[in-house]
Amino acid sequence: MSEFIKRTITGLILVLLTIFVASTGGKTLAYFIFLISIIGLREFFNAVSNTNYKPIRPIGYIASIGFLFNSLGYNIISLDLIVAFTILSLSIIFILNKDLELSDIIISFFSIFYIPFLFQHIIYLDGTIYIWFVFITAWGTDTFAYLAGNLFGKTKLCPDLSPNKTIEGSIGGILGSVLVTILISKYFNFAPLGKLVMLSALAAIIAQFGDLVASKIKRMTGIKDYGFIIPGHGGILDRFDSILFTAPFVYYFVNLFIL
Indicate the pLDDT class of residue 3, thresholds 50, 70 and 90: low
- Give the pLDDT score at 14: 83
φ and ψ of 162, to 5 deg:
-145, 90
* pLDDT at 2 exceeding the cut of 70: no
> Mean pLDDT of all residues in the chain?
91
Percent of the chain with pLDDT strictly greater than 70: 97
* pLDDT at 187 exceeding the cut of 80: yes
Indicate the pLDDT class of residue 125, thresholds 50, 70 and 90: very high
Indicate the pLDDT class of residue 90, thresholds 50, 70 and 90: very high
Q: What is the mean pLDDT of residues 226-231?
A: 79
- Give the pLDDT score at 1: 54
- Give the pLDDT score at 229: 78
Indicate the pLDDT class of residue 181, thresholds 50, 70 and 90: very high
Which candidate, 119, 112, 118, 70, places its Cα nearest to that of 90?
112
Residues 259 and 253: their CA atoms lie apart, in Å, by 9
Domain boundaries along the sequence of the chain: 1-23+128-259, 26-126
Which has more pLDDT, 11 or 147? 147
pLDDT, tens only, 130-163 = 999 999 999 899 989 988 988 888 888 888 878 8
Residue 218: Cβ-neighbour burial (10 angstroms; 0-12, 13-18, 19+): buried
- Give the pLDDT score at 52: 86
* pLDDT at 233 exceeding the cut of 80: no
Q: What is the mean pLDDT of residues 62-81?
A: 94
Q: In sequence order, which residues have a C-beta less than 8 Å from that of residue 64 and are 6 or more positions away?
A: 34, 37, 38, 41, 112, 116
pLDDT, tens only, 111-120 = 999 999 999 9
- Give the pLDDT score at 4: 63
Are the beta carbons of 114 and 44 closer than 8 angstroms? yes
pLDDT, tens only, 38-50 = 999 999 999 998 8
